[in-house]
Chain A
Amino acid sequence: MATRTLLEAIREALHLELGADERVILLGEDIGREGGVFRVTEGLQACYGRARVMDAPIAEAGIVGMAVGMAIAGLRPVPEIQFMGFLYPAFDQIISHVARMRNRSRGRFTCPLVVRVPYGGGIHPPEHHSESTEAMLVHTPGLQVVVPATPYDAKGLLISAIRSPDPVIFLEPKRIYRAVRQDIPEECYTVPIGEARLVREGTDVTVIAWGSMMHTVLQAAESLDASGISPEILDLRTLSPMDVPAIIASVEKTGRAVVVHEAARTAGLGAEIVAQINEKALLSLEAPVERVSGFDTVFPLPQLEKYYLPTPEMIEAAVHRVLAF
C-alpha cells in the first residue's frame, strides 16, 4: 500500500497500463513535455517516449478524431481534453463517431478509447474552465461515463476504462485532484464500471452524489451526525451505465432522497435520477426527492464561484426539508 492523491492515482494507472500494454497511447495538449495542465501525465513521456505520450496541437476535434482512428485500428488511445469546456469543439467526434462506431459498423469496429476530462468548478479559473456537463454525455447512447471521487476508485476505474472494449469518458474531479489522499495498492487492480459505492450506511435519508461533490456531502454528513440524523451515502462512480438498482435499494430502505450535483439544475443528471426514483420507488417515498445543484446560470467568474457551487449547508438544509416533509 502507498499513500496517493487522486491525481497520483490516475498517473499510476496510466503508468501501469502504458507498461503493460504497448497499444496504450496518450495524446493531448501539453501532456508530454509539460506533463499536462494539471501535471497528471508528468514523467510519462520521459519514460515511454514521444511516440506513446504525444503532445497535440490545440485542436480538440483533432485530438479526439485521431484517437478514433487509432482505436478502430487496434490501439488503445487515452486522449486528454484540458478542461470540460473544451470538449465542445470535439462534440461531433464524440457524439457522431466515438459513441456510434460499434453501432454504425454493425459491431465490426469497436472504439476502445478513454477521453480523460478534468471537470467541474472550484479552482477560480476564467470562463469555459468549470463545466460539469456530464448530463449531455449520459444522454448519448454508446458512451460510458465514469467519475471517481477517491484515489482508490480513480486508479481502479481508469484501468477498467482502458481495458474496456468500448469508449469511456473519464471525468476527473480537478478540484480534489490533490485534496484527497488514500492508501491504495501499488499494483494493478480494477474497479468495475457500472457499480455504485455505498460510502456509508444510514437509516434516515439517501444522499446521492459523485465526483468532487462527494466530499461536500461527507462534510454535510458530519454535521448531520451531530444533530442525530443518519444519512446513507451513495457514490455513483459510474454515471452511464447507472447503477439504478443500488439507488432504488437504498431509497426503499430510507424512504427519502437528496441528489447532489454541481451542474446546472435544469436537465442535469439529477432530473434523470429523480425520475428513476419516482418511477421505481414512489410508494416508498415519504417526501419528494430534493435536488441540490448549481444554478441555471452561466458558471460565474471566480469571485462568485462560492455562491454557485453546492455547499454542505445547502445539502444539510435539503436533508432537513425531506425529513420535515
Chain B
Amino acid sequence: MPKKSMRDALREALHEEMERDDSIIVLGEDVITHGGPYAVTRGIDEKFPGRIRQTPISEAGIVGTALGAALCGMRPVAEVMYVDFATCAMDEVVNQMAKVRYMFGGQTDVPVVLRLPSGSARLLAAQHSQCLEAWFLHVPGLQVVVPSTAYDAKGLLKTALRGKDPVLFMEYKRLYTNECEVPDEDYAIPFGQADVKREGRDVTIVATGPMVPKALEAADLLSPEGIEVEVVDTRTLVPFDKATVFASVGKTNRAIVTDEEVKRGGTSAEIASLIAEECFDALDAPVKRVAAAEVPMPFSPELEKLVVPKTEHLVAAARELVG
C-alpha cells in the first residue's frame, strides 16, 4: 500500500468526493493561490474549475456563505485558515449552522464541512496555535472530528462529505506531514468509532489528534519497564464512542486522558468525567489529564515547549498511575 502524508490523504479525499458528487464546492482564503495555508486544496481549481472560490478575508462571510449554499442544496467545504479565526465566525457557527436544523423543524439538511487547521506548529503564537474542540463539543448540533493519521483523515473526511449535518473537521498542523499507508481506493470511516491504536493491559491513554503519536511513543518507552499501555484514539469527539473507551478502562483500571487543548474546561475534562461517572468501580486510581498549560500560546520557542504537552508527561503520568 502506498504511503501518504495527511495533507495528501485529505487532498485525495476531496478530489475523489468532488468527482463523485457535483454538489461539493470548496471555499476559503487563498484556497486557489496557495492551496490554502497548508496546500490541502492545491489542484482543485485545475481539475474542477468553477467549484472552488477564493474568498475575501472574512471568516463570518465564509461560514455564512457556506451555510447558505448548504441550505440551497450544495455541499460546501469551507476552510477557515486557522481554527483561531473561527472566533470571527462564532455567530454563524453557533447561532446559525448548529441550530438551523432545529429552528426550522428539520426542513432542510445542513451538510457543511468546516476544515479547521488547529494546534501548535512552530512559533505561531497565541492567535494561530489554539485548539478549540471543547467549545464546539459544548454546542449541540455540531459534529467534531479530529483525525490523528493520514489513513483516518481520508476515511473520516469522506464520511463528513456524505453526511447531512455540519462537521467541524480539526486538522492538526503538526500532523499534516506525518505519513502512513493509505489505500488509493475509496473507503469511509464511520463517525463515533474510536480506534485502539495499541493494545495493553496496564493503563489506558485516551488520546486525541496530535497526542496520539505521543501516546504511542510513550507506550514504546514504557513497554521495556513492563508497563503495557493501551492507546485509544477518539477520532470523533461528537459523536463520542463511550463503549470503546469504557471497555478499555474496564480492562486496565487506570486512565490518562490527553489532548493539546488548555486543560481547564477542555475535552479531557469531559472524557475524564465520563470515565469517573461510568467506570467508578473499575478505577484503581484517579483519572489523570495531560493537556496544555492554562495560558495563551507564547511566541517564544522555549516557552512554547513548556506549554504543549509532551511524551514525557504521558510517561510520567503512566508511571505514577501504575506505581
Bound form: Cα–Cα A269–B137 in Å: 12
Stretch at the interface among B12-20, B49-57, B275-283: B275-283
The answer to whether A271 and B265 touch across the interface, beta carbons within 8 angstroms, is yes
With a cutoff of 8 Å between Cβ atoms, the chain B residues found around residue A96 in the complex are 84, 87, 126-127
User: Which residues of A259-318 are within 8 A (CB) of B?
Assistant: 263-264, 266-272, 274-275, 278-280, 282, 285, 287-291, 295-298
Bound form: Cα–Cα A289–B270 in Å: 13
Stretch at the interface among A5-13, A133-141, A158-166: A133-141
The answer to whether A268 and B294 touch across the interface, beta carbons within 8 angstroms, is no
Q: From B292, which residue of chain A is reached at the shortest CB distance?
A: A141
Bound form: Cα–Cα A270–B138 in Å: 11
Bound form: Cα–Cα A100–B264 in Å: 17
Q: Give the number of A-B contacts (CB < 8 Å).
A: 138
User: Which residues of A59-96 are within 8 A (CB) of B?
Assistant: 85, 88-89, 91-92, 95-96
Q: From A287, which residue of chain B is reached at the shortest CB distance?
A: B280
Bound form: Cα–Cα A289–B275 in Å: 11
Interface centre among A270, A272, A285, by most B CB within 10 Å? Answer: A272
User: Which residues of B31-89 are within 8 A (CB) of A?
Assistant: 84-85, 87-88
The answer to whether A128 and B95 touch across the interface, beta carbons within 8 angstroms, is yes
Stretch at the interface among B96-104, B151-159, B243-251: B96-104
With a cutoff of 8 Å between Cβ atoms, the chain A residues found around residue B87 in the complex are 91-92, 95-96
With a cutoff of 8 Å between Cβ atoms, the chain B residues found around residue A288 in the complex are 276-278, 280
With a cutoff of 8 Å between Cβ atoms, the chain A residues found around residue B135 in the complex are 136, 139, 267
A200 in the interface (beta carbon within 8 A): no
The answer to whether A271 and B269 touch across the interface, beta carbons within 8 angstroms, is yes
The answer to whether B273 and A271 touch across the interface, beta carbons within 8 angstroms, is yes
With a cutoff of 8 Å between Cβ atoms, the chain B residues found around residue A297 in the complex are 102, 140
With a cutoff of 8 Å between Cβ atoms, the chain A residues found around residue B91 in the complex are 88-89, 91
Bound form: Cα–Cα A135–B136 in Å: 11
A142 in the interface (beta carbon within 8 A): yes
The answer to whether A263 and B138 touch across the interface, beta carbons within 8 angstroms, is yes
B134 in the interface (beta carbon within 8 A): yes
B295 in the interface (beta carbon within 8 A): yes
The answer to whether B265 and A274 touch across the interface, beta carbons within 8 angstroms, is no
The answer to whether B90 and A266 touch across the interface, beta carbons within 8 angstroms, is no
Contact of B264 among A91, A139, A264, A280 (CB under 8 A): A139
B272 in the interface (beta carbon within 8 A): yes
The answer to whether A127 and B99 touch across the interface, beta carbons within 8 angstroms, is yes
User: Which residues of A240-262 are within 8 A (CB) of B?
Assistant: 240, 242
With a cutoff of 8 Å between Cβ atoms, the chain B residues found around residue A282 in the complex are 276, 283, 285-286
Q: Size class of A's contact patch?
A: 35 or more
The answer to whether A135 and B134 touch across the interface, beta carbons within 8 angstroms, is yes
B7 in the interface (beta carbon within 8 A): no
The answer to whether A135 and B265 touch across the interface, beta carbons within 8 angstroms, is yes
Q: How far in angstroms is the closest Cβ of chain B from A24? A: 27
B141 in the interface (beta carbon within 8 A): yes
With a cutoff of 8 Å between Cβ atoms, the chain B residues found around residue A91 in the complex are 87-88, 90-91
B143 in the interface (beta carbon within 8 A): no
With a cutoff of 8 Å between Cβ atoms, the chain B residues found around residue A133 in the complex are 138
Contact of B238 among A104, A136, A242, A266 (CB under 8 A): A266
User: Which residues of B254-296 are within 8 A (CB) of A?
Assistant: 261-262, 264-270, 272-273, 276-278, 280, 283, 285-289, 294-296
Binding site for B on A (CB under 8 A): 85, 88-89, 91-92, 95-96, 99-100, 103-104, 127-128, 133, 135-136, 138-142, 240, 242, 263-264, 266-272, 274-275, 278-280, 282, 285, 287-291, 295-298
Chain A to chain B: the 8 pairs with minimum beta-carbon distance, closest first: A139-B265, A267-B137, A274-B273, A91-B90, A88-B90, A267-B138, A88-B91, A288-B280
Binding site for A on B (CB under 8 A): 84-85, 87-88, 90-91, 93-95, 98-99, 102-103, 126-127, 134-135, 137-141, 238, 261-262, 264-270, 272-273, 276-278, 280, 283, 285-289, 294-296
Interface contacts beyond A89-B90, A91-B91, A103-B295: sample of 8 additional A-B pairs, CB < 8 Å, sorted by A: A88-B94, A92-B90, A271-B265, A271-B273, A272-B264, A274-B269, A275-B269, A296-B140
